[in-house]
Structure 1
Amino acid sequence: MSSCSPQADTQNAGPQSTPTPDATTSSTAVNIETLADNLRAPWRVTVLPDSGYLVTERPGHLLRIANGGMRTEITGLPDDIYVEGQAGLFDIILSPDFTDTGTVYLSYAQGTKEANGTAVLRARLMGTELVDGKIIFRATPTKDTNAHFGARMVFLPDGTLVMSLGEGFAYREAAQDKASHLGKIVRINVDGSIPADNPFALVDGVRPEIYSLGHRNPQGLHFDGVSGTLWAHEHGPKGGDELNIIRGGKNYGWPIATTGIDYNGAKITPFKSYEGMENFVKDWVPSIAPSGLTIYRGTLFLGWDGDALVGGLKSRDLRRVDLEDGKFVREYILLEDLSARIRDVRTAPDGSILVLTDDATNGKLLRITPK
């Protein structure tokens, strides 16, 4: 079964997938420094402005990791985190005014096996405790599956918050249903209210939070401030992972158009593209099961400016996607010798690359620099 299935997202996949013809091993030699190990299914790393990192662990833990490696568990997480399969604690991002207020935003699976969905908690980080927690968003309707939550978040320059939402695996048609949050990217204000300029804010029968639709399970989301572009990638089924430029009001095709097929080999749709729906910038066949995304704007890796770095859960490597003016040029493979499922990838302020490897008991936070 493909790594984009619910089971493979949370378990060790088998042999590495065959690289696509346009992917070649990178000639860039790198240093790999372990900043922390023995992490429990780590999901997101966020750099703190004063020093150190916040790392979420999917089973429901939030860690503060100092530069020297000492870790402290943060208390005050919500008590209704649903942990099973792919469900659990997901993303954490800092408010633009974090230095003054300590405000953070966390996404997590809320509810029960029978009725769950992605929720966003706003809270303040005071020392080692989250305080003043408030739920500002809940995906509607709830679902009874433990897969495809999406849950990546990013701020746009106007201060609005954008989050990806998966279609719950068993509800693929919901990705085209504007009355459902499933299979969408949503945009909200920091208090959970609706931005007046959302593309469907005034349309009857449509969830006003919807920013884009037709997504399967987007586990990478990044706003590139240099180009002013919102990027996302998402898991396909068996093949058909996609890297996309996200534009408000647009439809990204799932399940009407995809280059993937179903897990049993059957066609999902006869269409690889469809009129009125956005085309991907890059797809992966076979799947790499992408997770984590950054557009590199650092100065340590020469020639990488504006390229996408994508973690691979199934491919067990890091992909550098060479981009020129928003178009795919070529692809390079890094960190393949680690043979580790890569859950998250970020650019640190110093231009180094932070990577989280996904393992139930020995996930690692790595710092990558050029030799």
Structure 2
Amino acid sequence: MRHLILATLMLATPAIADPVKQGRPNVPEFQPAFAGQTRAPEQVSGVKPKVQDFATGLERPWGIVALPDGGYLVTERPGRLRLMGAEGAVSAPISGVPQVLARGQGGLLDVALSPDYGTDNTIFLTYAKPLPGGKSATAAARAVFDRDALHLTDLRDIFVQTPPSPTAAHYGSRIVFDRAGRVYVTTGEHSKRREAVLAQDLDTTYGKVVRLNADGGAAAGNPFGTEVWSYGHRNIQGAALHPETGELWTIEHGPKGGDELNRPEAGKNYGWPVITYGENYNGSPVGRGQTQAEGMEQPVYYWDPVIAPGGIAFYDGAMFPEWQGDLLIASLNPGGLVRLRLQGNKVVAEERFLRGKRLRDVQVAPDGAVLVLFDNSDGAVLRLSR
């Protein structure tokens, strides 16, 4: 794991203090499986970022990605995609987006660029796809973006979650490319108990990280070349590749307690709904109230009470050298930006900013500033800078 080299030469070592004030755990009898798995000590980096409105007038912004030729693409959950200029000017809605189920937690969700965007202008979207009988599914699609016309062409699905669900919740829905150009899509298990058990069923794509071909080409007899990368997840709304190792890291919502940071490995089972560090919203145990079971992986880190995590990003910019290599997490509840200091695959410290702000996604800007999406009916993109 890369640590701050320049900053350790230039700056005083950040202070390590007591655990970040998180409140009373929902399930205090649950003990971590290893030291440092939860409630890491607070590390005060000394950074006091300046926060400004970068773009306003967005309705429930959900995903953001930087464009190599300047500016950003931003999704709005009701079903709009917009181009945002390098200085924050927001375009009219881009035409040609897929039809979405804008109900419950559904809508237009994440956005990502093709690794070859500079030559193919291809973007990728995830969304809640409406299906017959009032059902829906997490879907991923690709399209060609005409920036001048603000229009998408050649729109086609590359993944549709199975089976369709009657529950408009827990879509997961981050999309990330690995270094080989294959695509990871995260899914949720649609929240209801009868559906949550499907996170353990390898014949479904509920509660999974799936990996597939970016062109949607068939492989091994399935329509999208889809393989289950990992399973036993609840609702993964954050995913990012480690900038040095290329490993996938994810973060998912627990129930009442038990949000998890994971480093999913191929073929492994991450436990939901058999094991968890949380409880049901009514205070009853999830399943048998277990936190560990043979053949099931432990999270790298967990929170109780929750942070309700959204998007994540590894910081790899010049503006905040104190944060170099750290993991930044958008928090929906209690809200804010959570910074984790890592040593290898362990969390050793935590720091929080913008407490109380309902944040959905985080993006490191080309100049090293940090952009976060304020998830509100009158939402915004906020810019954190020196």
- TM-score, normalised relative to structure 2: 0.85
Where do residues 189-338 of structure 1 align in structure 2 (5 Å cutoff)?
A: 189-193=213-217, 208-268=226-286, 269-336=288-355
Residue of structure 1 aligned with 2:183, choices 161, 169, 174: 161
Show the counterpart of 2:17: none
Partner SS for 1:221: strand
Is 1:94 aligned to residue 113 of structure 2? Answer: yes
Structure 2: state its 5+ residue gaps: 1-20, 26-38
Partner SS for 1:246: coil
Where do residues 1-371 of structure 1 align in structure 2 (5 Å cutoff)?
A: 18=23, 21-22=39-40, 24=42, 26=44, 27-72=46-91, 73-78=93-98, 80-112=99-131, 114-127=134-147, 128-170=150-192, 171-193=195-217, 208-268=226-286, 269-336=288-355, 339-360=356-377, 362-370=378-386
Partner SS for 2:134: coil
CA contact (8 A) 2:243 2:314 kept: no
Q: For 1:52-91, what per-residue CA distance to the aligned partner results, in whole angstroms no more than 9, with x for missing partners?
A: 111000000001011233222211112x311101000001
Which whole-Å CA distance do the structure 2 matches of 1:266 and 1:134 have between them? 43
Which whole-Å CA distance do the structure 1 matches of 2:354 and 2:130 have between them? 37
CA contact (8 A) 1:35 1:67 kept: no
Q: For 1:165-198, what per-residue CA distance to the aligned partner results, in whole angstroms no more than 9, with x for missing partners?
A: 0001011101000000000000001122366xxx
Deviation at 1:144, TM superposition (A): 0.2
Which whole-Å CA distance do the structure 2 matches of 1:289 and 1:68 have between them? 30
Code of the aligned partner of 2:248:
L
Deviation at 1:251, TM superposition (A): 0.8
CA contact (8 A) 2:43 2:349 kept: no
Deviation at 1:25, TM superposition (A): 7.7
Which whole-Å CA distance do the structure 2 matches of 1:17 and 1:87 have between them? 29
Deviation at 1:297, TM superposition (A): 1.8
Deviation at 1:96, TM superposition (A): 0.8
Which whole-Å CA distance do the structure 2 matches of 1:89 and 1:17 have between them? 31
Which whole-Å CA distance do the structure 2 matches of 1:19 and 1:54 have between them? 39
CA contact (8 A) 2:213 2:226 kept: no
CA contact (8 A) 1:211 1:248 kept: yes
Deviation at 1:280, TM superposition (A): 0.8
Which whole-Å CA distance do the structure 2 matches of 1:221 and 1:359 have between them? 22
Code of the aligned partner of 2:96:
G
Which whole-Å CA distance do the structure 1 matches of 2:303 and 2:23 have between them? 11
Bigger shift: residues 141-150 or 21-30: 21-30
Structure 1: state its 5+ residue gaps: 1-15, 196-200
Show the counterpart of 2:18: none
Deviation at 1:239, TM superposition (A): 0.3
The 1:318/1:270 distance shift into structure 2, 3 A limit, reads same
Runs of 4+ in 1 over 4 A off after TM superposition: none
The 1:208/1:95 distance shift into structure 2, 3 A limit, reads closer
Which whole-Å CA distance do the structure 1 matches of 2:49 and 2:324 have between them? 17
Percent of paired sites with the same residue? 41
Show the counterpart of 2:28: none
Bigger shift: residues 348-357 or 100-109: 348-357
CA contact (8 A) 2:40 2:347 kept: no
CA contact (8 A) 1:23 1:331 kept: yes
Select the structure of larger CA radius of gyration: 2
Which whole-Å CA distance do the structure 2 matches of 1:91 and 1:109 have between them? 10
Partner SS for 1:173: helix
Deviation at 1:114, TM superposition (A): 2.4
Which whole-Å CA distance do the structure 2 matches of 1:252 and 1:223 have between them? 18
